[in-house]
Structure formats: C-alpha cells, structure tokens
Amino acid sequence: MTELETKARNFHKNGNNCSTSLALAFAETLGVSEDEAKNLVPAPRSIDGKCGTYLSVVAMLEKLGIDKAAEYEKAFLDKNGSLDCKTLIAQRTGTGRTCNDLVGEAAAMLEEMIKNA
C-alpha cells in the first residue's frame, strides 16, 4: 500500500467522505492546501448519483491537466462494474468490501496515472 493510499484511507476512516478523503490525500500533489482541496472535488452522488471516488479522481485529473479521465472510467468500471454509488453499495453486500476499499483503490489508480502522465 502506498503512502497516498494509506493517507486517503485514513482520512476516510476519520470521518471524511470518499471524495474529500482522496482530495485531502492528494492536496500536496495538487499544489493546494487541504481546505482548497476539499473545494476542488464534487460531493459523492452529486453528479448523476456517481461514486465519490470516481468523481474525485476525475476532478483531480482535470486539475492536474492529465487527460486520462476516460482511461480511469474504463478501469473503474472494469474493477467495479458501475459508477453508481447505490449500485456499488448494493453489490458489495456480503463481500467484505467497503467504501474505504474503493478510496484506497482510487488513490492507487490516481497515483499510477500521475506517475505515468
């Protein structure tokens, strides 16, 4: 587990929503303060009911000028089967997977995309 993945998971465990947790973990990478990072990303489900981890990564890729949103969407769908928050929650029932797992996976994916940009 990378440092950024751990940070994102910890922000989430400490009560931040999934979208904000990712933004806080990547604030330094984005070149903004934690307070500014919170305002860069949309709230979970705020756009067509989509998962906050998806929305947050897309917003941060845009902020960084990295044109990989379509690549991220495909990878997210390949891994999770849906972008819809409620669907993702329903699908994980009984699997042991949590929103915190999605936060960690999204952090790892974003970090890799930044590294390869």
Measuring CA to CA, how many Å separate 7 from each of 57, 94, 114? 15, 26, 17
Which amino acid is located at 16 in the chain? N
Q: Report the mean per-residue pLDDT for the chain.
A: 96
Name the band, by pLDDT with cuts 50, 70 and 90, for residue 93. confident
Q: Any idea what DSSP says for residue 50? A: B
The Cα 109–Cα 22 span in angstroms is: 11
Look at residue 84 and give its three-state secondary structure: strand
Q: Which of 71, 61, 54, 50 is nearest to 106 (CA)?
A: 54
Domains of the chain: which residue ranges?
3-115
Mean pLDDT of 84-108: 93
